[in-house]
Amino acid sequence: MNDVIEWSGYKWLTQERWGRVHKDKSYCWYDPSAVEITLKNHLNLKTQYNPKEFPKLGIRSKIGVGLVSCATEFGPGTFEIEAKLPYGKYLWPAFWMWSWDSWPPEIDIFEGYSRKNPNYSRLNWNKPWCFWHIDTNVHYTKGSKNKMAGPKSHYMGFKDPTRHFIKYKLKWAEESLKFYYNNKLVRTINDPIVMKQINSTKMNVVINNHVTQDLPYSEIPLSNFTIKYFKYEKA
C-alpha cells in the first residue's frame, strides 16, 4: 500500500496530512488500497468495506475511503479536475482545499451528497433547475467565530454526473473566487473579509470519495470516483 503517489505531475499523500482517520468521523478511514491509478492515468477513489483498528485512538473504523492530499502548497490561480462522480447512496465526494496554516479557511469547489438517490438527483423547490445535489462553499472566520459563505447548488445541465465527466474549476484571484462547472460560471465570492483570509495563506488541495455518517451499516457502498486529471495554472 502506497502512502505517496505521483499523478498529474504532482505528489499526493493517500491520507490527510494529519493522519488516516478523523476522530469525529471514525466510521471510515483514508484507505490507501482505495486509491488507484489506471492504465489511462485516471485516478480512481473508492469506498469499500475494509475494517481497521487504530489502537492508540481507541477506534475501529469499518469503511475504507479513497483520498489524496497534494504535497504542493498552492497560491492564487486556476484549479481544475474533470471527473465522474461515484454512484451509490450516502456518498460524499469532494474537490476542495484548506489552509496549510489552520482551519478555516476552506474552499469547497464541490461537495456532492447522494443521500438516498445514488446519482445525486434531488427535488429543490426553491431552485428547481438545481436538480443535482452538488454544492460550492467557503469556510472562514469572522471575529472569533467560524462562518460559511453557505452551501449552494447550481445549474449543471441535464447530464447525470455519475455517467458523464464534468469539469469542476476554481479561479482564485486576489479580489474574488469564481467557481465554474463545465466552463460555466456558477458562483462568485468577493467578500473582502473572506478574500483577506484566503489571500493570506497557501492552500492544500484534497480530492476524496467519502460516505456520510447516516449511512446504514447494511448499505456500505462499493463505489468509484474517477478523475481524469488535475490541472493548476498559477495566477
CATH number, domain with residue 136? 2.60.120.200
Q: Say how far apart CA 125 and CA 130 lie, in whole Å.
A: 9
Query: pLDDT tens-digit profile of 163-187?
Result: 999 999 999 999 999 999 999 999 9
Task: Name the residue type at position 231.
Answer: K
pLDDT (tens digit, 9 = 90+) per residue, 108-146?
999 999 999 999 999 877 787 888 999 999 999 998 899
Stated pTM of the model: 0.96
- CA dist 99 and 107 (Å) reads 9
Question: What is the band of 1 on the pLDDT scale with cuts at 50, 70, 90?
Answer: low
| Tally of structural domains, the chain | 1
**pLDDT confidence band for 218 (50 / 70 / 90):** confident
Give me the long-range contacts of 213-216 (CB less than 8 A, separation at least 24): 213/25, 213/27, 214/90, 215/27, 215/63, 215/89, 215/90, 216/90
What's the mean per-residue pLDDT of the chain? 95
Q: Residue 172 belongs to what domain range? A: 4-234
DSSP 85: P
